[in-house]
Structure 1
Amino acid sequence: MFVKAVAGIGQCWYNGRRGSGKGEAMEFTVVRSPEEGVPYLNRLKNAGLLAVDTETTGLDAHQDQLRLVQIGAAGMPVLLIDCVPFLEDSRGRAFLKEVLEGDSGKIFHNAKFDLQFLRGEGILPENIRDTMLSAELLRPCGGPRKVNLAAVASHYLGVSLDKTEQTGDWSGALSDSQLAYAASDSRILLQLWDCLAGRLRENGLERIADIEFACAPALARAEYDGISLDLGQWEHLCTDIQNQYEMALQALYAYSGEPSYQLTLWGGEEALDVNFDSNAYVLKLLKKNGIQVSSTSRYSLAPYHNHPLVKALTEYRKYAKLLSGFLHPLPAQIHPVTGRLHPKYGQIGAYSGRMCCWGPNIQQIPRETRFRSCFRAPEGRTLVLADYSQIELRVAAQISGDVRMKSAYTKGEDLHRLTASLVSDTSPEKVTAAQRQAAKAVNFGLIFGMGAAGLQQYAAQSYGVDMTMEEAVKFRDAFFRAYAGISWWHHDLKAGHFMEGRTMTGRKFLFTPRSGVSELANTPVQGTAADILKRALGLLYHEIREKDWKLVGIVHDEILLEVPAEDGANAARCLKAVMERAGADILPSVPCVADAKTAHSWAAK
């Protein structure tokens, strides 16, 4: 890539365009003051699409600075807005707000990142298009595995982008090479979107793309806002869990004997002859105590879950994982500027469309009160907690068309109580709490094609329900007699030899010849439930965009807000309304119900 810069205006040439022997000239101009931007204002405001990119001094929107904002539009040079002088003038911020908050569509690549830095300057773009999300949606349609800008541009346009400057120093004076690099990323977005928009349309992905694009600003808001952790309470919890960990170790020593120790190079101690983290050692210990298994997995040990050794081992593993996975790492992840945790969300974290989370992964915080009570609203504020009621079962009812299940949801009946009544031949009003708990395992297990043996294991592991194999077979047979539509749905999946599937919104995913009925059924259900939540987040963003309402947590079917105490009741009504509207938009004949409440801590849900 070569650069020529004259009086703030430059040209660079793309080399390597597929089918072209000539470079494609591209102009850019550096804008350092609002006055220099004024000649372009009307053209930018009237453009149908704007390509937007940013360069920053780092990756942290709370500590690093916005260095450049690049804006490209058809028929004009790319504007490189030098934020250091430009945003020192309040008119500069007003200029960017007028351009980026206007009606034009804004094309980003990984909008979630750029939107956080723009939010830090009070600039809140909407009407987003995202070429990275588009490429992720197009993966099952022959798209590239990697979705960074260079990989996507290479795959769809045959353009080779030089990303050398990406990791350079953007805090000082900018070189001609840096300016050309910044301009090229913005300009390529216009060409890339033109191609990807057609691919989305050809593959029936426009609806799900709109949902993903609208969700991106909400996730940017969630990452930027973060969630408050009561550190003192968390430290007390660490002490309690450490004590329980030590008790579990002592229970295991009753079977293994006390270990002998040696000093490490760092002055600590390590056990020489006992290692409960070694599968080989644990397997030998289990067999020595009459538990003949070939694996130490949770699934293999489920039939022996009442054996004292297995109980102790399960407790040990549980507390060891809590200490290493959550309790010890979380305090170090509190942000030095905000004093809050700032989880990151992978918007399309699984091929089903479900999100993932890290840094920390609050989606895996245990549901126990002692854990969730540590996540609290600061003084003068309150949390609003909302989740969907049985969202995946409702989606399964819609997809399968099961008449009885759809009727139950339409009438507002308790499906778990209904299932308990049907499989035990008991009237609904006489169903016990234990029967309803067993029905949860039956509903959530069998809806996705689990066999009787799998149901028996699943009930014990996930719901603490012991059932014999005979009971599991009886429950399974009774379930499919009661819900014939589910039975026929599974039959069709088995007979169809499907190699691809879709959610209710059109998201596409591929199967393999080895995919069983469980995967064939679960993926579109889980994916549709994820699409509903993302639709809700897109709607919610419009409600909270300029309010002092923080989006602090997203956990699959659950959304957490933090709002001023006086706004709590109104925020709960708003959150419930947008979640139910999102469900109604996607499930035409099964009502979605969301429950919302205010509370001082997350434990109230």
Structure 2
Amino acid sequence: MKVDYITQSEKLEEVLEKLKDKPYVFLDTEVAVKDFEKIDYFKDKIRLIQLGTYDDIFVLDAYKIEKDKLEKFLKEVLENKGVIGHNLKFDLKFLATNFGVYPKVVFDTYIASKILSKGDNSQKHSLSALTTRLTNQEIDKSYQTSPWWIENLTKEQIDYAAKDIDALRNIYKEQVLQINQEEAPLKSSGETYKVFGVKNPVVALEMAFLPYLVKMELSGIPINQEKLNTLIKESKSKFQNLYIDFKRKYGVDPMSPQQVVNFLTKRGIKLPKTEKGSFSSQDIYLKDYEDREEVRLLLQIRYEKKNLDKLEELKIYIKDGRVYGEFKQIGASTGRMSSYKPNLQNIPRSLKHIFQAPAGYKFIIADYSQIELRIAAEYTKDENMIKAFKEGKDLHKLTASIITGKNYDDITKEERNLAKAINFGLIYGISPKSLVEYAKNNYGVSITLQEAKIFHENFFRYYSAFKEWHEKTKEYLEKRKFIEQQTLLGRKLIAYKFTDAVNYPIQGSGSDLLKMAVVLFNRSLDDLDAKVVNLIHDEILVEVAEKDLEKTKEVLSQAMERAGRYLLKEVPVAFEINVSQTWNKD
């Protein structure tokens, strides 16, 4: 393995000459991270930048080369070629903060591995795991956390850095072969296909989405820190007072699960048992007893503690008036993202007002309307559901009229809420018994098992394509024990349980749709002062300068419409766009 260790600016021209005709380069970085538990993308510094082709490996020492010349070189190479790396989000964020370099066309072997695993959570996706699985070789990662800040690196450190590039070359070649063997209902035709030869549209979408996810994470989301501090103070005081009152009155620690269970059962409250045989006092099991003072007070204490924990979590990740979170691009088997450090996807509605756009800016809050139901209608080709959407009907009201036998125009708010539980529950195949619990826990609607059975029967009689799909899926699972499903775009997922089998393709298609809308939006922004600052399943949150508000709304609307039309051929796409100073819709 030939390695060129570059420490002089003059050598960059030679490297540039060797790379000039290559359509892509392999990339890795080594960063002098002070604390790997608290990586600081704005303060920690890149030490080495490894670039490779199938002929050469170059290890560039950022501590030795003049920064302005290195920056110019990196922009020339990485912003004009394809870039292949592993867990590229890490490298791209540091390239952006250290050098202002933003690669546009990328291939991440970590993301590719997640897609190829088809939702198999038992598979590992680290560089060492992929090297072993795909090439039958092993790589030593023990130098990953070595002291990259020392003035003169050891030969072992430089060799370690170069070996990651060698591993990438072998992994990438094998992954592209596997990806192109997978059949998909649609074909990619963009830059990912042109540069890397990747035909799969799901892979192309995820790779196109990655650079925009990097920008979103580095943008952060603005927060009113003064309001946050006030809320923390108020919430802490309220929680402490409620806690003390409860303990004085009942002699029980309300934050001790065992003490609470013993206390409630002694007072005649029936609690269900967990699989392990112990009693559960989760909130959902206490809602039927809210008329009792001790239960009401206990739920209030838990509510305040949950809010306080979220507020304090947010405070940890504030920097210069913005909260910087991280996202797993494929955080669930369906391809849905997940958020952590802090979780920005589970902010309670009551706390969204503390996220506030700065002076001269606004938030655009865009939501796809009933998107999972629309996708489900498209997926099953259910004629009645498609017809309802084409006619612009409120599907929840329509379902309410079907299950109750009442006229569409006479449906009450409560009946519509019940239908909401039925729609979202039954498309995913839950039983009448589970529907009783689902309606109560998620929508606060109480129904009997007998009513649930009638609603279940009426729903599937009217939306007959769902019944047919569910029955075929159950039959297939009984025979084969597993089933391979795919989203409307072609994301493949293996399911072993019936509920997963009917959930994966719908939620997965929703994930594909949202990511596609984000890619199309970002590509059309041009010089508009606007950026995506958060994503939650079917919602896009954009921060925009007031001067560019109307144009950005138009661009976002067009992107959401185009993404919807690309995946939904029979069902019209619908969405709502609101403008507000805070994350709460005005």
Query: Aligning the two structures, in what range does the TM-score lie when normalised by the shorter sequence?
Result: 0.7 to 0.9
**CA distance in structure 2 between the partners assigned to 1:144 and 1:68 by the alignment:** 32
Gaps of 5+ in 2: 34-38, 185-199, 273-279
Structure 1 residue 436 corresponds to structure 2 residue 416: yes
Aligned-partner Cα distance in 2 for 1:466–1:87: 69
> Helix, strand or coil for the counterpart of 2:12?
helix
Asked if residue 416 in structure 1 is aligned to residue 393 in structure 2, the reply is no
TM-score (normalizing by structure 2): 0.88
The corresponding residue for 1:7 is none
Q: Distance in 1 between matches of 2:53 and 2:221?
A: 37
Q: Indicate the residue corresponding to 1:504 in structure 2.
A: 488
SS across alignment from 1:36: helix
Cα distance in 2 for residues equivalent to 1:94 and 1:578: 33
Residue 536 of structure 1 contacts residue 581 of structure 1 at CA under 8 Å; is this kept in 2?
A: yes
Equivalent pairs counted in the alignment come to 553
Are the equivalent residues in 2 in contact too, given 1:28–1:183 (CA < 8 A)?
no
- Counterparts of 2:264 and 2:124 in 1: how far apart (Å)? 44
Task: Select 1:538's aligned residue among 513, 519, 532.
Answer: 519
Determine the C-alpha separation between the residues in 2 that align with 1:463 and 1:78: 58
For 2:343, the equivalent position in structure 1 comes to 361
CA distance in 1: counterparts of 2:461 and 2:453, whole angstroms:
12
Residues of 2 paired with 1:439 and 1:87: CA distance? 65
**SS of residue in 2 equivalent to 1:377:** coil
| Conserved 8 A contact 2:3-2:59 | no
Does the alignment pair 1:131 with 2:73?
no
Report the alpha carbon displacement of residue 414 of structure 1 after superposing the two structures with TM: 1.6
| 2:100 aligned to which of 100, 122, 126 | 122
- Correspondence for 1:173: 152
Partner of 2:438: 458
Q: Aligned partner of 2:111: which letter?
A: L
The change in CA–CA distance for 1:419 and 1:143 in structure 2 (over 3 A counts) is closer
Please list the CA deviations of residues 466-513 of structure 1 after superposition, one character each: whole Å capped at 9, or x if unmatched: 33444333322222222111222222222221433222223233333x
- Are 1:135 and 1:144, in contact at CA under 8 Å, matched by a contact in 2? no
Residue 403 of structure 1: how far off its partner (Å) = 0.9
For the Cα contact (< 8 Å) 1:251–1:312, is it kept in 2?
no
State the partner residue of 2:187: none
Structure 1 residue aligned with 2:4: 28
Match of 1:82 in 2: 61
The aligned amino acid for 1:126 is: K
1:8 — aligned with what? none
CA contact (8 A) 2:365 2:539 kept: yes
Q: Quick check: 358-367 or 546-555, which moved more?
A: 546-555
Q: Structure 1: which amino acid aligns with 2:8?
A: R
- Please give the per-residue CA displacement for 1:526-565, whole angstroms capped at 9, x wherever unaligned: 1221121122223233235875433211111111121222
Distance 1:593 1:298 in 2: 34
In the alignment, residue 80 of structure 1 is paired with which amino acid?
V
Structure 2 counterparts to residues 451-600 of structure 1, below 5 A: 451-497=431-477, 498-512=482-496, 515=497, 517-544=498-525, 548-600=529-581
1:313 aligns with 2:290: no
1:66–1:301: structure 2 CA closer, same or farther, 3 Å change rule? same
Counterpart contact for 2:489–2:512, Cα < 8 Å: yes
Deviation at 1:143, TM superposition (A): 9.8
- 8 Å Cα contact 1:346-1:355 kept in structure 2: yes
Q: What does residue 152 of structure 1 align with?
A: 130
In structure 2, give the amino acid aligned to 1:328. E
What is the distance in 1 between the residues matched to 2:180 and 2:428? Answer: 31
**CA, structure 1 residues 542+80, in 2 after alignment: closer, same or farther (shift >3 Å)?**
farther
The structural deviation recorded for 1:238 is 2.6
Structure 1: state its 5+ residue gaps. 1-24, 260-273
State whether structure 2 residue 364 is matched by structure 1 residue 389: no
Give the distance between the partners of 2:399 and 2:242, measured in 1 at CA: 37
Residue 88 of structure 2 is aligned to residue 106 of structure 1 = no
Change (3 A) 1:450 1:167: same
- Output one character per residue of 1:120-165: Cα deviation in whole Å (capped at 9) or x when no partner: 2221111111111111222249897221212211221122222232
User: Whole-Å Cα distance in 1 between the matches of residues 527 and 439 of structure 2?
Assistant: 46
RMSD: 2.5
Please give the per-residue CA displacement for 1:270-290, whole angstroms capped at 9, x wherever unaligned.
Answer: xxxx12233333233223332
3-state SS in 2 of match to 1:323: helix
Percent identity over paired residues: 33
Post-superposition CA distance 1:324-373 (Å, at most 9, x none): 3x1223212213xx4421111011111221111111101111022xx001
The residue type paired with residue 159 of structure 2 is: A
Gap change, CA 1:141 and 1:281, over 3 Å in 2 = closer
For residue 9 of structure 1, what is the aligned residue in structure 2?
Answer: none
Change (3 A) 1:301 1:487: farther
Change (3 A) 1:592 1:427: same
3-state SS of paired residue (2:152): coil
Q: In the TM superposition, what are the counterparts of 1:195-344 in structure 2 within 5 Å?
A: 195-204=174-183, 206-242=200-236, 244-245=238-239, 249=243, 252=246, 257-259=249-251, 274-294=252-272, 295-324=280-309, 326-335=310-319, 338-344=320-326
Match of 2:277? none
Which residue identity lines up with residue 99 of structure 1 in the other structure?
V
Is the 1:383–1:568 Cα contact (8 Å) retained in structure 2?
no
